[in-house]
Amino acid sequence: MTRASLRWLLDHEAVTCVIPGFKNAAQVLDNLQAANVASFSDAELRRLEAWYASEVHEHIRGAY
């Protein structure tokens, strides 16, 4: 899940870097593997956007 989340962030044109958290060296190495994860397809991105809109957005502080 972490790798997919980082890949999604890295694929956004407006994002120039991602600074993920970690607690140990193994997590750092796992985070680095996000660079090797395939980008989401257009269909997958549409499904994620729909899920975010219906399940997450209302719970984000400052959302409008």
Residue closest to 8 by CA, chosen among 59, 43, 60, 48: 48
Please tell me whether the overall predicted TM-score, pTM, comes out greater than 0.75 for this model: no
Question: CA 42, CA 60: separation in Å to the nearest integer?
Answer: 24
Angle 25-32/2-10 helices, nearest 10 degrees?
50
pLDDT at residue 61 in the model: 80
Residue pair 34/10 in contact by the 8 Å Cβ criterion: yes
Encoded amino acid at 46, one letter = R
Predicted confidence (pLDDT) per residue in 10-62, tens digit: 998 999 999 999 999 999 999 999 999 999 999 999 999 999 999 999 888 87
The number of helix segments (H) and strand segments (E) in the chain equals 3, 0
